[in-house]
Amino acid sequence: MTQGLGDPPLPVWRPSEAAPPPSPRSSAPFRDVFSAALCGVPTTVVGLAEAPRPLRTDDWTRTADAVDHAMVAACTGPTVDLGCGPGRLTEALTAQGRTALGVDVVAESVQRTRARGCSAVRRDLFASLPGEGRWDAALLADGNVGIGGDPVRLLARAARLVRPDGRVVVEVAPPGVVSRSGWARLTGGGLTSSAFRWAVVGVDDARAAAEAAGLQLLEQVHHAGDRWSVVLARH
Ligand SMILES: C[S@@+](CC[C@H](N)C(=O)[O-])C[C@H]1O[C@@H](n2cnc3c(N)ncnc32)[C@H](O)[C@@H]1O
C-alpha cells in the first residue's frame, strides 16, 4: 500500500506487516510458557528489544505500590482491568471498594487474581466481555497497551467497553522511548512460545495513538521513577 501526499503520516507503531519469525520445531502455546513463568520458571522475552530481556513476573505477582494506587485512583467507578495478569491492580481496585473485573487469556493469571479475592474471567479482551459499554473505566497497566501489536485497535476496543463519559487509563513508556510494533516470543524452562504481536507506546506518541482511536488525552502523569500513564476519554 502506498501513502498519498495528503494522507496523515503513518504512525510508528503501525502493526507489523512482517510475517512472524519461523517457529522452532516444537513451539509451545503462549499460555503455557507464561503460566510457567508466573510459577517461577526464569523466562525471557525475545524480539521486543535488541537483546532478550527477563520477563519481570515479580512486578505482577507483588501487591500494588504507590504508582499502581495512583493509576487506580485515576479509574473512577467500576473498572475492567484488561490483561490483569495475577491481579495486582484488580486487587487494588477491589480493596478500594470498587466493582472490578480482571480479564486475562491465561488461566493461571485468572486463578491467581481470584485467589486474591477478586472477580476475573478468562477471556481474550477482544472477545465479548461482561458489561460491554457500561464500565466507568478500563485499565491497561504495565505494558498492556502493546497487547496485539496494534495500540490504536486496542484503545478503540477499550473505548467501546466504557460508557460514553467513561475513561481509559493507560500506562505508557517514558519520554524518548521509540514507539514500535513487532513479533515477540517467550522462552523459559526449555520451551519457546509461539510468536505473538506486541507493541510499545511511548508517552510522546500517546496523544496521537489516542486520537487515532477516537479518544482524547485528558491527562498525562509522571509517577515515581520512569513510570508514566495517560488518562483518555471518549469524545
Ligand atoms: C504484562 S502482563 C501485565 C499484568 C498486569 N496488568 C499487571 O500490571 O500486573 C500482560 C498480561 O496480559 C495478558 N494478555 C495478553 N493478551 C491478552 C488478550 N488478548 N486478552 C486478555 N489478556 C491478555 C497476559 O496473559 C498477561 O497476563
Ligand 1 atom 18, closest CA:
124
Instruction: Please count the residues of the chain.
Output: 235
pTM exceeds cut of 0.75: yes
Q: pLDDT (tens digit, 0 to 9) for every residue of the chain, 235 residues total?
A: 444 455 555 676 777 777 787 777 778 999 999 999 999 999 999 988 889 999 999 999 999 999 999 999 999 999 999 999 999 999 999 999 999 999 999 999 999 999 999 999 999 999 999 999 999 999 999 999 999 999 999 999 999 999 999 999 999 999 999 899 999 999 999 999 999 999 999 999 999 999 999 999 999 999 988 999 999 999 7
Domain residue ranges in the chain: 27-234
State the closest ligand 1 atom to the C-alpha of 139, by its place in the atom list counted from 1.
6
Q: Is the CB of 141 under 6 A from ligand 1?
A: yes
CA distance 154 to 144: 9
Query: Using CA atoms in the order 131, 132, 136, 141, what is the torsion angle rounded to 10 degrees?
Result: 100
Kindly report the number of other CB atoms within 10 A of residue 199's CB atom.
27
The residues that bridge with 168 in the sheet, in sequence order, are 138, 232
CA 165, chain centre distance (Å)? 22
Q: Is the CB of 83 under 6 A from ligand 1?
A: yes
**Residue 229 · residue 47 · CB < 8 Å:** no
Q: Is the CB of 43 under 6 A from ligand 1?
A: no
CA distance 26 to 156: 35
Q: Using alpha carbons, list the distances in angstroms from residue 29 to 1, 32, 61, 165.
A: 32, 5, 21, 38
Pick among 3.40.50.300, 3.40.390.30, 3.40.50.150, 3.30.565.10: CATH of 27-234: 3.40.50.150
CA distance 43 to 49: 15
**Residue from 109, 126, 154 whose mutation best tests the ligand 1 pocket (most atoms within 8 A of CB):** 109
**Residue 230 · residue 219 · CB < 8 Å:** yes
Q: Is the CB of 88 under 6 A from ligand 1?
A: yes
**Residue 227 · residue 61 · CB < 8 Å:** no
Q: Which of 68, 63, 59, 65 is nearest to 37 (CA)?
A: 59
Q: Using alpha carbons, list the distances in angstroms from residue 101 to 18, 82, 85, 206.
A: 34, 8, 12, 25
What pLDDT shows up at residue 8?
55
Residue spans of alpha helices (H) in the chain? 30-38, 58-61, 66-74, 88-95, 107-115, 151-161, 206-212
What pLDDT shows up at residue 17?
75
CA distance 230 to 116: 27
What pLDDT shows up at residue 56?
94
Sort 187 into a burial class: Cβ within 10 Å, 0-12 / 13-18 / 19+: buried
State the closest ligand 1 atom to the C-alpha of 143, by its place in the atom list counted from 1.
1
